[in-house]
Amino acid sequence: MGKIHSVLLQFSFLFLFFLILGNISIAQQDTLVIGKKYKITLYYGFEATGFVRSVTDDTVKIETEYKTFSLPRKDISKINGISIKISTPDTTLLSHDQIEAIRVSPDPNDSRLLFGPTGKTLKKGKAYISTAVFFPWITILFLPYSSFGITDYINIGAGASPYPPVFYITPKIRPLHFEGIDVSFGLAYAQTYSFQGINDDYNVGLFYLASTFDIENKYSLTIGGGLLYNIDWQHTSKIYTYRSPHLLLGFEARSDKNFKFITENWIDLGGERGANFSVISMGGRYFKGGFALDFALLGVFTNFNPGGSGGKTFLIPMPWISVAYNFGL
């Protein structure tokens, strides 16, 4: 029983922007206050509320609650509800894809893939609570979880599950941020506790690095890696890392205003020696307002042998569902 729960815990770590900114330079009044909050409306009906970060002859860059947009000045129809007297814009200068990229709803859960991290973090004061359900073997596991943005660059997450009886914490730091590129590192740590006769004293964690690259507001590629570890609290209190790291490969593709396809994969780089496991997944996320629903099919490739040594590799399919609600504090 202890070994089975330890394997479950090794899997559980994985589960472990609109008002616009300034006086805008359009028509005869070319005044702009960088850093001021405004509501901007485009001819397409799109509205954005956030802070103006920069203004050029052609664009206004505004940072909203969820995302930063570069808005064509010629397409702005209103600022704070007041009509801008300029000639009808030549919309032929914008392609259909560019217009749709502006129209799409922001994904409030872009700080994570299905169960693992992206290079992004929650903004300061933003949080979400979620409950993930997945079905390994013949049991059902529930993994309640919550994450909070202490700053735009530091997040903290935590949760606890009744079965397996485990609590977990997931601090995350984003040291690098450029337009379209975010890099974060952090750790996940899970520790068992006594519940309903289960007294396993076991812990497992993951050190990770994740880099996310956004492409045309439609695609995101996440590349990173993680190293599993365990702490011997009973004897030496030393940290022991597993023999090989995992490679993280994730990809997101927007197919609709409120939907994206997601694949998340953790590949064991340990080769054939000893017990190992890799996780692949394919699924999607529907999001609207503060709610997000994830669904996916996970596949765990492992050669784990309860006898202690690695055996023949086999596949464990695991349906996965997660519901999250995002809010501000």
Give me the domains of the chain, ranges plus CATH numbers: 2-16+108-328 (2.40.160.40), 37-103 (2.30.30.100)
Position 256, amino acid: D
Cβ-based neighbour number of residue 57 at 10 Å: 7
CA atoms of 186 and 158, how far apart (whole Å): 13
Residue that wins the pLDDT comparison between 75 and 212: 212
Task: Check: CB of residue 257 under 8 Å from CB of residue 241.
Answer: no
pTM higher than the cut 0.95: no
pLDDT number for residue 7: 42
CA atoms of 128 and 15, how far apart (whole Å): 14
Given a cut of 90, is residue 161 above it in pLDDT?
Answer: no
**What does the pLDDT look like over 255-286, one tens digit per residue?**
877 899 999 999 998 765 566 789 999 999 99
In this predicted structure, which of 102-111, 181-190, 232-241 has the lowest mean pLDDT? 102-111
Cα 104 to Cα 280, 307, 323, distances in angstroms: 28, 52, 21
Residue that wins the pLDDT comparison between 246 and 307: 246
Question: What number is the average pLDDT over the span 148-164?
Answer: 90
Phi, psi (rounded to 5 degrees) for 179: -65, 115
CA atoms of 124 and 56, how far apart (whole Å): 28
Helices (H), the chain: 2-12, 96-103
What is the distance, to the nearest Å, from the Cα of residue 140 to the centroid of all Cα atoms in its chain? 24
pLDDT above 70: percentage of residues in the chain: 74
Cβ-based neighbour number of residue 196 at 10 Å: 8
Task: Check: CB of residue 319 under 8 Å from CB of residue 140.
Answer: no
DSSP letter at 109 equals: T
Given a cut of 80, is residue 313 above it in pLDDT?
Answer: no
Residues in the chain: 329
Helix (H, G, I), strand (E, B) or coil at 145: strand
1 by Cβ neighbours in 10 Å (0-12 / 13-18 / 19+) ranks as exposed
- Residues in Cβ contact with 183 at an 8 Å cutoff, skipping those fewer than 6 apart: 119, 174, 175, 176, 177, 209, 210, 211, 212
pLDDT number for residue 77: 79
CA atoms of 69 and 61, how far apart (whole Å): 6
Task: Check: CB of residue 59 under 8 Å from CB of residue 72.
Answer: yes
Per the rule left: phi > 0, alpha: psi between -120 and 50, beta: everything else, 197 is left
Residue that wins the pLDDT comparison between 82 and 163: 163
Pick from 80, 85, 77, 74: nearest CA to 18: 80
* Cis peptide leading into residue 164 (ω within 30°): yes
**What does the pLDDT look like over 249-263, one tens digit per residue?**
999 998 877 899 999
pLDDT number for residue 17: 26
CA atoms of 171 and 61, how far apart (whole Å): 31
CA atoms of 207 and 171, how far apart (whole Å): 10
In this predicted structure, which of 5-14, 175-184, 291-300 has the lowest mean pLDDT? 5-14
| Residues facing residue 50 across a β-bridge | 38, 64
